[in-house]
Structure 1
Amino acid sequence: MNRPHTHASKSFQHLDTLTALFVAVLLISNVASTKILMAGPFTFDGGTLLFPISYIFGDILTEVYGYRRSRKVIWLGFASAILMSFTFILVGALPAAPEWKYQSAYDQILGFTPRIVIASLIAYCVGEFSNSYILAKLKVLTHGKYLWIRTMSSTLIGQLIDTAIFSAIAFANVISTQLLITLIVSNYVFKCGVELIFTPVTYALTQWLKQQEQEDYFDIDTNFNPFQIED
């Protein structure tokens, strides 16, 4: 079932569903990130509740379909986030109807979203591609064994990069330095914890997809340039 060569001509039954869920998670997380939450000892933005799921999707996509397919899905998510941000900016700039009294509330919440989206795009571009690259390389080195080690290793690095870049861009000069540091640490611990807890689910979905799709891609000759959409 291992396929080290191109699978460009092959169609997959579940890839479109995973792509749609990935994009939905990315967009919802961007909007939810406008609120800072307190949960026990943790302080994190609202998007953190859902955003770690996107890394699990990234792991599954890379593990089953390979880095090349994951790269396309990531860029599709970025394009959707840009469209969402532009729409919020345009709607906010247009004059409100006289009877609509919520312009200030809109600006305070959704007016903050474009900065969140920019932070998310930059951070996720670096973090997710790092995550996928490490996972793909480790899969070849381990001959497809030890999935939990590969997913956790790639996540620990990818999420550290992602969380630090995102928090710095999104909240610098918006919240205090102390709160920013607390936010970064809390987010990182929470995200990695979610990955660890969902490891059995990742295993189950990965094995099921490999059987359903008859695919278990090994990135032996892959071009890992994130801007190389087609190999």
Structure 2
Amino acid sequence: MFNEVFGIITFLVTFILLVIMYRCFGKYGLIAWIAIGTIIANIQVIKTIDIFSISATLGNVMFASIYLATDILNDIYGRKVAKRAVWLGFSSTLVMVIVMQMSLTFAPAPEDHAQHALETIFNVVPRVALGSIIAYIIGQHLDVFLFSLIKRFFHSDKTFILRAYGSTILSNIVDTALFVAIAFIGTLPLSAVFEIFITTYLLKIISTIFNVPFGYIAKSMYRKGKIDKVDHIS
């Protein structure tokens, strides 16, 4: 029961922090969130937990927050800004992988106690890291495209929920399928791979369903002019 309760708390804290970042730093806060979030999520995904009677990896809530941040940027600032933020998130993850691999190559001092722990976290199986990066970049670009496409038909503030749900639910199918296929097919039985796909996708969708109100809060702050000053700081 602890994981379930703490999972709800973690969800709320994550999205409250996202809104605070937007309130304090405007669109730059959301762009920074995407960059930071991709790094955090790719570290979190290493840890496996049991929650709501299923086995799952961490990172689903953070990935859901990245999709919401992208949707807010797309809705308020346009597709071009959202795509640049996606590439920044991708670049941040790539930089982390390269720099940390170089850091692990250094021979540790005799008194060092961090090398083993760092290797456990950052010496990720290449297929898992590759799967995560490919799934992220394709899934996010698909999300931006679908959001913009849906916006052509449903462009009022009241229909933000349709754009956010529609683009994220569809793009997450591709995102999750790519990651699971690249990371696990050939190393696990197909039944286990399918189970990982279902549980991961389910948790992402649950997070998406409950995170859209935070998107409306962000949009409300923008409409009321609370973001203008921070957006135009030179």
TM-score by length of 2: 0.78
Q: Is 1:23 aligned to 2:17, yes or no?
A: no
**Cα deviation 1:169-219 (Å, max 9, x = unaligned):** 23344544333221111111111111111222212212322443889xxxx
Distance change (3 Å), C-alpha of 1:178 and 1:103 = farther
Task: Provide the residue aligned with 1:133 in structure 2.
Answer: 145
* Larger displacement relative to structure 2 (28-37 or 41-50): 41-50
Could you say which structure has the higher helix fraction? 2
Matches within 5 A, 1:117-132: 117-132=129-144
**Separation of aligned partners in 1, 2:118 and 2:217:** 41
Distance change (3 Å), C-alpha of 1:119 and 1:212 = farther
Task: Provide the residue aligned with 1:178 in structure 2.
Answer: 191
Distance change (3 Å), C-alpha of 1:176 and 1:38 = farther
In structure 2, the gaps of 5 or more residues are 1-24, 229-234
* Residue 168 of structure 1: how far off its partner (Å): 2.0
Distance change (3 Å), C-alpha of 1:92 and 1:40 = same
Q: Is 1:82 aligned to 2:91, yes or no?
A: no
Secondary structure of the corresponding residue to residue 44 of structure 1: strand
In structure 1, the gaps of 5 or more residues are 1-12, 216-231
TM-score by length of 1: 0.79
**Separation of aligned partners in 2, 1:15 and 1:36:** 33
Task: Provide the residue aligned with 1:9 in structure 2.
Answer: none
**Separation of aligned partners in 2, 1:117 and 1:14:** 31
Task: Provide the residue aligned with 1:52 in structure 2.
Answer: 64
Q: Is 1:39 aligned to 2:51, yes or no?
A: yes
**Separation of aligned partners in 1, 2:181 and 2:213:** 32
**Separation of aligned partners in 2, 1:183 and 1:17:** 32
* Residue 115 of structure 1: how far off its partner (Å): 4.5
**Separation of aligned partners in 2, 1:117 and 1:76:** 17
Which amino acid is the alignment partner of residue 198 of structure 1?
N
Distance change (3 Å), C-alpha of 1:104 and 1:204 = closer
Identify which of 104, 109, 118 aligns with 1:106: 118
Whether the 8 Å contact between 1:89 and 1:114 is mirrored in structure 2 is no
Identify which of 78, 83, 86 aligns with 1:71: 83
* Residue 156 of structure 1: how far off its partner (Å): 1.1
Moved over 6 A (4+): none
Distance change (3 Å), C-alpha of 1:169 and 1:78 = same
**Cα deviation 1:3-57 (Å, max 9, x = unaligned):** xxxxxxxxxx611111111111111001111122221233222122322111111
Task: Provide the residue aligned with 1:202 in structure 2.
Answer: 215
Aligned length: 203
Higher relative contact order (CA 8 A, sep 6+): 1
